[in-house]
Amino acid sequence: MSESSTSSGEGPAPYLSGLVLTGRRVVVVGGGGVAQRRLPRLLETGARIEVISPSITPTIEGLLSNPDLRWIERGYEPGDLADAWYVVVATDDAAVNDQVSAEAEERRIFCVRSDDRSRATAWTPASGQHDHVTIGVLGGGDHRRSAAVRDAILEELRTGALGARDSLDKKPGVYLVGGGPGDPDLITVRGRRLLAEADVVVADRLAPQPLLEELHPDVELIDAAKLPRGRAAQQEEINRILVDRAQQGKVVVRLKGGDPYVFGRGFEEAIACAEAGVPWTVVPGITSAISVPATAGIPVTHRGVTHEFTVVSGHIPPDHPDSLVDWEALARLRGTLVLLMAVENLPKITSTLISYGRPADTPAAAIADGTLPGQRLVSSDLAGIAAAMTEAGVGAPAIVVIGNVLDVAAQVRS
């Protein structure tokens, strides 16, 4: 895509073409920031890349583990472009840039110049990739405009506004998609794309509800929170629906809150698909165990304060015979404890931790409706957090954080 025009006074419009560089020699002269930005995309092509520069950035040095990238630790010398198919000149020395582009011209090699596009034989577009579609935009030298147009196109592709439902690449099957902690902007790019391509969406109560409003009118939306016949039968019914719709050749998205495998029964659904011979794919999501404290200004780890954090389901009280949690061991840990689904059983959980030795004055906090406009934070200590939540009227869903990282967080809020 080019926004250049012969009427703009900038000369003829460039001819856009996709270069197949796999296995071909590409030379990058210069090892600074410009080269650093260009290399990742060049490496994706499978080209054999040589960086010629007396020095390189630490990031480029880290890329040298790629066998397709080699660093020649010196300045440019005449003859360095022999057998090259494509050249990127990215030094801050105009004289060197002139030498390289002159050799490229003589050898009929297309050459990009970072310092003077008018003296180059190729321009680097603002590019991006979505699925199997590569976008390249040239904005007549206005790099910000090029990037803005590229980003707008990619966003339309990712959200499905541009051709997602008509994609020839749609693959029937079940996609277990983590929707993130609640804010619709926190779903992954792939998760949002799959919602745009879906024929059927089976959604949890804690899945980002605003995303459902964006679904195409033809999408079959199944509310997993309202399936009949109780909890056990409900999961069996969810499994049955996923398998049934996939066997009909449909793209089925199982949209869940957080991450599908963090206390979300996602792998139970994967097993059901596997047993039925239905293809399935997991699309990880941002778990609320980390993201909700983060948005409330609470780090689950902090240098010099904690070397571990533990995520625990509190849906069963400590004294329940079905509990699989070693509460005595948890009480001995010095790191951060994050409790999910623990609002109802929190009084028993806190008293159990204290009885096993966790100090009663350990800082504690609860975050309700995390990442959503109504997010609320209640702070107390381990002994008082349950009562503080009750007094503040904070109920489920809520994340409870216990540990000295809360003292660190308090420094920022004070």
- 397 upstream amide cis, omega within 30 of 0: yes
pTM for the model stands at: 0.72
What DSSP string runs through 17-78? -----TT-EEEEE--SHHHHHHHHHHHHTT-EEEEE-S---HHHHHHTTSTTEEEE-S---T
What DSSP string runs through 275-338? HTT--EEEE----HHHHHHHHTT--S-BTTTBS-EEEEE-SS-TT-TT----HHHHHH--SEEE
User: How many other CB atoms are there within 10 angstroms of residue 154's CB atom?
Assistant: 18
Exactly one of 166, 169, 218, 226 is catalytic; which is it?
A: 226
The Cα–Cα gap between 83 and 50 comes to: 12
What DSSP string runs through 321-377? TT----HHHHHH--SEEEEES-TTTHHHHHHHHHHTT--TT-EEEEEESTTSTT-EE
Q: Domains along the chain? A: 17-124 (3.40.50.720), 173-283 (3.40.1010.10), 289-413 (3.30.950.10)
Q: Distances in Å between the alpha carbon of 122 and those of 14, 86, 218, 261?
A: 8, 9, 45, 47
Q: Which pLDDT belongs to residue 11?
A: 63
Structure confidence by residue, pLDDT tens digits, 337-368: 999 999 999 999 999 999 999 999 999 999 99
Ranges of the chain whose pLDDT falls below 70:
1-11, 131, 158-169, 227-233, 413-414
Q: Which pLDDT belongs to residue 3?
A: 47
Catalytic residue flag (residue 204): yes
Q: 247 is written with which tokens? A: 């066997």
Exactly one of 204, 250, 256, 259 is catalytic; which is it?
A: 204
Q: Which pLDDT belongs to residue 18?
A: 87
